Structure 1
Amino acid sequence: MSPWRLEYLRLTRTKKWVALASVYIGFGLVGPLTARYIKEILSRVGSSDGTVITVPDPTPADGMVQFVSNAAQIGTLVVVIVAAGALAFDAIPEMGVFLRTRVSPAWKILVPRVVVSFLAAAAAFLLGTGVAWYETWALIGAPPTAPVLAGAALGVAFLAFVVALTAAVAQRMRSVLGTVMTSLVVLIAMPLLGLAPAIARWLPTSLANALADLPAGGTLNDYWPALGVSVVATILLMWAAFAWAGRREA
């Protein structure tokens, strides 16, 4: 059985694709609903001291904002967990030895796992985006097409960076948990650095918010620096992952 088919079967038969799809589709359904009915929800909750909460009428961009506000955090977490389970193949020594003695060099093991993990994450994200886009159109109004498509493309680029980061970390860690935690620490540290506006526009993590920002009136020019850094970082991380995987083999 080829490594490509093995990885495809591992993803589908373990139902890990369900976790990815459920998260993004779930938030794609809930986000526009929240944006559409938040005023009604808050009006029914009320306040004990008689305070009136005023909420502006929802706009089409709000549906995408609500989707991204949830999917950007929880979705990324699930992507890291699923990717780490695939890419840390040395976490179980017997499995690592089994794979390495049958497939050589190590990059031939790594490439199918990286590609399948990325494609699964990207497909789930795009499916959730499509659901959020349609439901926003049905409940509030149609978000502008070009900004949504551009934001979705930048979101996919961010997921490529996330998978590449996880792949590199997995070749240095001894466990899936270590891979997940280290990858998340890096991803969490980036927005903290992004508190400085001059740095934020260069960070790959800013791409995750493009799908919310662009339909709301943001400009694509704001994301070129982050996209450039993300592409370069993804390439370097994959190079590091291949190099470190080969050293374990030696």
Structure 2
Amino acid sequence: MHVQQATTGQRPGDKDRRVREMFASIADRYDLLNSVLSFRRHKAWRRAAVRMAGLHPGGRALDVCTGTADFAIDLYRAVGPSGHVLGSDFCAPMLRLGRRKADAASGGRIALTLGDAMRLPCASGVFDCVTVGFGIRNVSDIAQAFREMARVARPGGRVVCLEFNRPQNPFWRAVCDLYELRVLPLVGGLLSRRDAYTYLPESIQAFPGRRELAALMEQAGLRDIQVRDLNFGSVCIHVGTKP
């Protein structure tokens, strides 16, 4: 099945610039808002994604759109000091905050680099696992980002995508829509910039569904796509394997 990405009316460069500036403006409150708005559930969701990554001590992992490095830190806990973890993000203020957290968690063993998800600064076939947590939705070309993630994974390696999605159950979809469209912008606006937390529900509503996202991963060359719903289907993990 071929899937064409939905368009938003923005040119790719416009979206990239808007997203980078938005995250730079909320970087200092990003972690607080993550915990408040997810009721601290984001930590359990990441742990579930790491379990599906199939990592072992000594493994090599890349976290794309790493932000303040929470996912990279969880990956480090899976591979241990004998492993290698790299986090990449295109927003320097987020990475600066992530650097402090990553150093504290790993003794400086987690590497962070400024990089674009659509042009990863990595050699091909290097990583046992490549992850992206709540970041692929912000990329202007999702298909290209998945191609890059597949490129840098080794044969047999996994690509793991943890992302918001819309529940399939009509009741829970209505509940989540109410929270995302009404409550989230209000609370986000009280603690940070309202426009940033208006963008979040808009981006979730426009994001490809489960089947479409799985198809984009297959088009990137990944196989054996697994899909797991969390939080009544408002969060979804997709895992693909590089042949």
TM-score (norm 2): 0.26
Relative to total residues, which structure has the larger strand share, 1 or 2?
2
- The higher-RCO structure (CA 8 Å, 6+ apart) is 1
Larger Rg: 1
TM-score (norm 1): 0.26
Relative to total residues, which structure has the larger helix share, 1 or 2?
1
